[in-house]
């Protein structure tokens, strides 16, 4: 014991004690930075999104697109806005998995044992996921143009539509965080996230809801994704007629899921 003391300087004194606990912004930034590093340093995470977007756009444009007759509207102009608006339903699985992994691997526990404001654990994670979602949305939109999509209205209308997609990125970040926090482990989080596919496909994203069989139409019409997708299309067309309902759905989802996320995170 004494030899160890003599051989090394008294170690803890080499580190000063922090004067005060970190603030909300500083600690949220650290939590975000770590999540972003993990995302961009794991090719499996960011590259999968790119590959998936290209694959979907390619399939619907060139494989199914030839058969789907969209009347006056070119099919690319119909489905690309829908796909960009719902891309967060596909990237969301990654968020749920990451959140579940953090809890199982003890990272969330470590954070909770530190003197950080509790809110920064949720806020930091959400900020990072909102950014990665924004990245996926911009990337997918760019690929959309490459696969034949053209704006029917002004560039400003197009940007408004993109902004709407970004909002959905925020909304579904919170939703998938909750899925990740509810799941017992990462695999379960992945599985539970598949429910989003039901909402993505049985909606007006790929074909108008009115073309579906009668028994399916009520679900397709009244679930949140259809008005959200319609709002993006209406913004591109310059009318913005469906925006109100989409905003109402967005607000409802955020109001319901945010408190659950904040409270579940506290439990670790």
Residues lying near another protein in the complex (CB under 8 A)? 1-2, 4-5, 8, 10-12, 14-22, 26-27, 30-31, 33-34, 37-38, 41-42, 104-107, 109-116, 268
To the nearest whole angstrom, how small is the minimum distance from the Cβ of residue 45 to another protein?
10
Task: Work out the angle between the directed axes of helices 75-104 and 186-193 (0-180°, nearest 10).
Answer: 160
Cα–Cα distance for residue pair 163/69, rounded to 1 Å? 29
Note every long-range contact of 248-251, with CB atoms under 8 Å and residues 24 or more positions apart, other chains counting. 249/224, 250/167, 250/168, 250/171
- 46 or 168, CB closer to another protein? 46
- 12 or 71, CB closer to another protein? 12
H helix or E strand, kind and range, residue 238: none
To the nearest whole angstrom, how small is the minimum distance from the Cβ of residue 97 to another protein?
15
H helix or E strand, kind and range, residue 198: helix 195-201
- 191 or 268, CB closer to another protein? 268
- 104 or 247, CB closer to another protein? 104
> Which residues, 6 or more positions from 131, have their beta carbon under 8 angstroms from its beta carbon?
32, 36
- 30 or 152, CB closer to another protein? 30
To the nearest whole angstrom, how small is the minimum distance from the Cβ of residue 179 to another protein?
22
Q: What does R_g of the chain's alpha carbons equal in angstroms?
A: 22
H helix or E strand, kind and range, residue 66: none
- Which of the 8 DSSP states describes residue 17? P
To the nearest whole angstrom, how small is the minimum distance from the Cβ of residue 114 to another protein?
5
To the nearest whole angstrom, how small is the minimum distance from the Cβ of residue 26 to another protein?
7
To the nearest whole angstrom, how small is the minimum distance from the Cβ of residue 62 to another protein?
36
- 29 or 54, CB closer to another protein? 29
> Which residues, 6 or more positions from 202, have their beta carbon under 8 angstroms from its beta carbon?
212, 216, 219, 220, 223
To the nearest whole angstrom, how small is the minimum distance from the Cβ of residue 124 to another protein?
10
Task: Using DSSP, state whether 59 is helix, strand or coil.
Answer: helix
- 106 or 244, CB closer to another protein? 106
Note every long-range contact of 62-68, with CB atoms under 8 Å and residues 24 or more positions apart, other chains counting. 64/206, 68/207
């Amino acid at each position: 014991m004494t030899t160890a003391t003599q051989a090394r300087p008294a170690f803890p004194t080499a580190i000063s004690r922090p004067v005060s606990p970190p603030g909300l912004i500083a600690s949220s930034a650290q939590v975000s930075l770590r999540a972003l590093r993990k995302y961009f340093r794991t090719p499996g995470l960011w590259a999968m999104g790119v590959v998936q977007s290209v694959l979907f756009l390619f399939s619907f444009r060139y494989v199914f697109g030839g058969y789907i007759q969209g009347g006056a509207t070119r099919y690319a102009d119909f489905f690309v806005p829908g796909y960009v608006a719902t891309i967060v339903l596909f990237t969301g699985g990654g968020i749920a998995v990451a959140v579940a992994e953090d809890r199982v691997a003890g990272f969330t526990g470590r954070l909770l044992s530190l003197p950080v404001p509790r809110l920064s654990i949720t806020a930091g994670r959400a900020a990072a996921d909102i950014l990665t979602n924004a990245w996926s949305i911009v990337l997918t939109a760019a690929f959309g143009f490459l696969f034949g999509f053209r704006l029917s209205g002004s560039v400003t209308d197009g940007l408004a539509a993109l902004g709407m997609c970004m909002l959905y990125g925020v909304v579904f970040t919170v939703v998938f965080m909750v899925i990740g926090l509810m799941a017992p482990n990462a695999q379960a989080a992945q599985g539970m996230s598949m429910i989003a596919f039901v909402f993505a496909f049985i909606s007006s994203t790929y074909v108008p809801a009115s073309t579906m069989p009668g028994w399916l139409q009520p679900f397709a019409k009244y679930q949140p994704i259809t008005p959200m997708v319609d709002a993006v299309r209406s913004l591109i067309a310059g009318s913005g007629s469906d925006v109100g309902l989409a905003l109402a759905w967005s607000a409802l989802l955020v109001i319901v899921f945010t408190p659950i996320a904040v409270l579940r995170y506290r439990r670790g």
